[in-house]
Amino acid sequence: MRVVTKRIPKGKAISHIILLAASGIASGVIIKLLDIYTSNLGNLFSQMSVWIFLCVLISAYSSTPRRAAVNVFVFCAGMLLTYYLTAELTQSPYSFAFIVGWAVFSLFSPLMAYLTWFARGHGVFAWILTVGIVVVMLIIAVVLFDKIRIADAALAALTLISLLKKE
């Protein structure tokens, strides 16, 4: 099990939230523009495994499980809002089904981030969480895209390495 060993001051926590919200906002704009103007990078960042990997990093390296939940949610919400705002401003096509899917991802992200924080701990529970996260990444790749691509496998491996690195 992982326990909170240090807490950060409120001011630092607030600055982290602002930084992660700004990162999510910038990511949403950049990713939509990559979707419009590039094919390879646009396709890469359309993969769920990229976003799971980024959210795992944010949560695993947050100071507490509650901080992880907040940090990941503000990142995801910022990314989602600006991605579809940019799509609207550039008059790019997008599907309502994708909006719903990403909204569900964002709404469940605090719970998943809270649990993910414990994956960097010690013991059976941490190991189950770690393996579960990697397996879910690979299953989602198959369900959404019919196969595990090289990027999915690489991101799953990086996720595994980052979660196995203990404090």
pTM of this structure: 0.90
Q: Where are the alpha helices (DSSP H) in the chain?
A: 10-37, 40-44, 48-60, 65-89, 96-117, 124-145, 150-164
Tokens of 111: 């719970």
Which tens digit of pLDDT belongs to each residue from 41-54?
888 888 889 999 99
Instruction: For the chain, give the number of residues.
Output: 167
Which tens digit of pLDDT belongs to each residue from 103-121?
999 999 999 999 999 999 9
Among 139, 154, 133, 29, which residue's Cα sits nearest to residue 85? 29
Among 66, 99, 100, 77, which residue's Cα sits nearest to residue 23? 77
